[in-house]
Structures are given as structure tokens and as C-alpha cells.
Amino acid sequence: MSTSPAACWRVAAGGGVAGTLTVPGDKSISHRALMLGALAAGDTHISGFLDGEDCLATARALQALGVRIERPAATEVLLHGAGVHGLAAPAAPLDLGNAGTAMRLMMGVLAPQRFDSTLVGDESLMRRPMERVAVPLQMMGARIQMHQGRPPVQIRGTPHLRGIHYSLPVASAQVKSAVLLAGLAASGRTRVSEAVPSRDHTERMLGAFGVQLLYEGRTLALEGGQSLRGTTLQVPADFSSAAFFLVAGCLAAEQPLLLTNIGVNPTRTGLLELLQRMGADIRVHPRIASDAPRAEPVADIEVRRAALRGITVPEALVPAAIDELPVFFVAAACASGETLVRGAAELRVKESDRLAAMAAGLAVLGVEHQLLPDGLWVRGAEALRGGALESCGDHRIAMAFAVAALRARAPLEIADVANVATSFPGFVSTARRAGLHIEAL
């Protein structure tokens, strides 16, 4: 991966963080902006785009489907939409790299096409479950084959999908989004119900492209056959990337640390609530809201060091904090008392088994903990040990451990960090600017 070739980081122990920072564009929103822009009629202009490997994999896949994409700058994209029925058969399997969101949402885009396609990815993605998306799409009439529920995903396109009413068995924005995307090209009405809300970027963005969505209580409905109109989109900075600095600030910001222009969609900001329950000093300063209906909310977030106390995490808050739990466990490791997270079995099927990866790291850091089938129990420690940590090729595990160095007694060496470029290109320089003593080896 060209943007972050480093295989390993060395992070000096201790130190502080302060200053004003921003982080790259939101990954979830950047993927969706590309896909909806491709399905729209007319041009879509995206600014604040995440120039990271995951979103670039989506862009390449769309180009292989005949979509014209220009990049006037690294964070700007101009898409010449092909329309819901305007994609072309790809010449080869589409390689989505490390990007689970790209593969799952593209299944919804590709199932109703008049051509066949095959989706593959890197070693991590080839191990991840895709059946959860295939099941509702098959109920709609899609023809999809996998290898024991995992990629390669082979799609025999059919333009004859039918709307269904699907109740999500697990909170998953990726499954919800794939069903909605397929629903655009299906006959009749597609309905999706979720017991606990998952991130709603797809719904918000469909509105920006002129698609009518109906809300029937907790059920979301969309009439098939609608067209999308190209639009202009501003992607906010990624709360999930800001999360590393929010926790860093709680642990080591003697002077305030200000994170600017951060997306604060309430389906994403569970970490804020968890840290505040632990006693964090975090202030959210909302930016003037855009007048577009259901636009993504954005804020500047200010954080100062505070003494954190362990908590029991309410299971209902887990979906809104799912990608931030690795760094949340670092906060728990530095808090006084015990922290318990349950209801987070989904972490076992992310880019790595994040519960196992964090438990292994906590052992190296000398933090008492217990790995549970669906969570982790942690007893906070006064200071962490130094040592060699394994990120398991998982970007969020690597960055979470880098934050842990702020409370370590000896340096940390974090292996296998190249995939940080999937979500946070420039992490090392941003972390240095914040005050971490981090070096790519």
C-alpha cells in the first residue's frame, strides 16, 4: 500500500497531546457518496472525500463498471453518474481490498444488474461473512453464490428483484444499505426494520440524491424504480478516526485538544456518551447546520485530560460505538475500576477478531482482563507496560495501541500497521502533530 508502507511503528512512552487538529473524511460516507453518485443521473461533486485505500477500492470497482471518475484533488471527486441501469459488465473480478463496506454495499448494487460479477478482496476480507447480505438479497430474488458464506461472491445479475420487508437480525448498516440499494432497482416497496438503530448515512444521502424514503415507525420504506439526481456533497471528518484523539485527549491533554469539522451523526457517537459516563471532559461545539434536509451534523470537539472511571456499557449503546470499541478498551485500561462490554460479538467478524486482538494486547500491556464470547471485562491499571503488540493487520487495532503508549512506562512496538492507510492516511503525521512520539520503522 503506497500511502503507508511502514510495517511497524515505535511509539515512545508517555507524553502529552494538545492543539487543533482535523482528521480525514468519513469512510462510510465516502463509500456511499461514490456508489450513489455512480447510480445517479448527472454529475456528483464530492469534497472532503477520504483518500484512503478502502474508498479507492470502491472507486476502482465503479470504474471497472464503466463509471467515469475524476479526481481534481486528493479529497475531491467528480463522478459522471451512469444511472441506476447504466453500469457495464466488468472485465474481471472486482477486488475490494480490505473494505467490508465496499463489498457488502456493492452486492446490493450488483444483484439487480443485467450482467454477472464476482467480488473478491484481501486475505482479511476473504474470511468475512457475506451471507448476512446475501440472505435478504436472495429473498428479493437475487442469485448469489459464496464459498461457505464467504467471498468470492458470485452474482448472476437479474433485473427482476422484488421488494421485501426485512427485519435485521443483527444491527448492521451494511446489510440495511445493501437491501435499500437493491430496493432502488426492485419492483414494489422495500422495507427494512431494525431493533436497534445502525448508522443511517445511506438514508440521509439517498434524500440528498432526491430519493423519497418513507418512515413507518421504526421501519424504513423505499419505492423501487426511483431515479437519483447527481448532487454536491461535503463529507465531514470521520468520527471513527477522531476517536483515537478523543481518547488520547482524555488520557493526556493537559492543554485542550480541539478536533475540528467532525461528523457527529448520533448513530456514530456512542463513544462520546461512554467516555462522558466515565468522567471525561469533552465539549461538543456544533457547527451551523446545513439547511439541506437530514444533512450530516458536524461539530468541533474539545477534550481535556480527566480521571476516567470504569463503567458497564449498556448494550444498546454498542452499535453506535462499534468501530470505536478498540480504542475504548484502551480508555478502560487506563480508568480506575472495572469496565464491562457485552453484546459486542460483531467485533469478532471485523477486519480482525477485535476482541481477541485487544485481549492479546492488554495482556502485553499488563492489564488484567477477561475475554468473553461477546465482549471484554477490563480492570484499569495505574500504568501500562511497554512491549511488542500485534495489530493483526487491523487499522483500528494499530491506532488504538498507539494511543495506549501515552500511559505506558516503556515504548510500544506495533506490528503490521500498513492497513492504517485504509481509513486514516497520514495518521503518523497527525499523531505527531498532536504530540505522540511515533515513528514508522
Annotate each residue in 234-253 with x if it binds ligand S3P (CB under 6 A) or - if it does not, as one string: --------------------
Q: What is the DSSP letter of 204?
A: H
Annotate each residue in 96-125 with x if it binds ligand S3P (CB under 6 A) or - if it does not, as one string: -----x------------------------
The Cβ-side half-sphere exposure at 187, using a 13 Å CA radius, reads: 6
Please identify, using beta-carbon distances, which residue of 36 and 365 lies nearer to ligand S3P: 36
> Contacts with ligand S3P: how many residues (CB under 6 A)?
10
CB 102, min distance to ligand S3P, A: 9
Please identify, using beta-carbon distances, which residue of 344 and 434 lies nearer to ligand S3P: 344
Please identify, using beta-carbon distances, which residue of 76 and 346 lies nearer to ligand S3P: 346
Q: Between residue 24 and residue 83, which ones bind ligand S3P under the rule CB under 6 A?
A: 28
Please identify, using beta-carbon distances, which residue of 231 and 265 lies nearer to ligand S3P: 265
Please identify, using beta-carbon distances, which residue of 220 and 257 lies nearer to ligand S3P: 220
Please identify, using beta-carbon distances, which residue of 173 and 381 lies nearer to ligand S3P: 173
CB 396, min distance to ligand S3P, A: 9
CB 180, min distance to ligand S3P, A: 11
Residue-by-residue DSSP string for 94-108: EE-TT-HHHHHHHHH
The active-site residue, picked from 26, 51, 54, 323, is 323
Report d(CA 229, CA 238) in Å as an integer: 25
CB 237, min distance to ligand S3P, A: 15
Annotate each residue in 366-385 with x if it binds ligand S3P (CB under 6 A) or - if it does not, as one string: --------------------
What residue spans of 224-269 are helical by DSSP H? 239-252
Report d(CA 239, CA 192) in Å as an integer: 25
Other beta carbons within 10 Å of 273: 17
Q: Which of 259, 255, 253, 308 is nearest to 285 (CA)?
A: 259
Please identify, using beta-carbon distances, which residue of 177 and 339 lies nearer to ligand S3P: 177
Q: Between residue 161 and residue 190, which ones bind ligand S3P under the rule CB under 6 A?
A: 172-174, 177
CB 20, min distance to ligand S3P, A: 27
CB 58, min distance to ligand S3P, A: 11
Q: What is the DSSP letter of 236?
A: P
Other beta carbons within 10 Å of 433: 13
Q: Is 318 in the site for ligand S3P (CB under 6 A)?
A: no
CB 202, min distance to ligand S3P, A: 7
* 323 counts as catalytic: yes
Burial 27-36 (b: 16+ CB within 10 A, else e): bbbbbbbbbb
Report d(CA 232, CA 237) in Å as an integer: 16
CB 68, min distance to ligand S3P, A: 24
For the record, the C-alpha cell of 196 comes out as 436497534
User: Which pairs count as long-range contacts for 358-361, CB under 8 Å and 24+ apart, including other chains?
Assistant: 358/325, 358/326, 358/329, 358/397, 358/400, 360/390, 361/389, 361/390, 361/397, 361/400, 361/401, 361/404
Please identify, using beta-carbon distances, which residue of 203 and 302 lies nearer to ligand S3P: 203
Q: What is the DSSP letter of 230?
A: -
Burial of 411 (0-12, 13-18, 19+ CB in 10 A): middle
Residue-by-residue DSSP string for 172-201: -HHHHHHHHHHHHTSBSEEEEE-SSPPP-H
Q: Is 354 in the site for ligand S3P (CB under 6 A)?
A: no
CB 337, min distance to ligand S3P, A: 28
Q: Which helix (H) or strand (E) holds 277?
A: helix 270-277
Q: Which of 70, 131, 81, 136 is nearest to 103 (CA)?
A: 131
Q: Between residue 326 and residue 345, which ones bind ligand S3P under the rule CB under 6 A?
A: none
Q: Which of 194, 233, 216 is nearest to 320 (CA)?
A: 194
Among 322, 341, 404, 431, binds ligand S3P (CB under 6 A): 322
Q: Which of 287, 314, 313 is nearest to 300 (CA)?
A: 287
Please identify, using beta-carbon distances, which residue of 28 and 44 lies nearer to ligand S3P: 28
Q: Is 323 in the site for ligand S3P (CB under 6 A)?
A: yes
Among 128, 199, 369, 407, binds ligand S3P (CB under 6 A): 199
Q: Do 298 and 178 form a contact (C-beta atoms < 8 A)?
A: no
Q: Which residues are catalytic?
A: 323
Residues lying near ligand S3P in the complex (CB under 6 A) = 28, 101, 172-174, 177, 198-199, 322-323
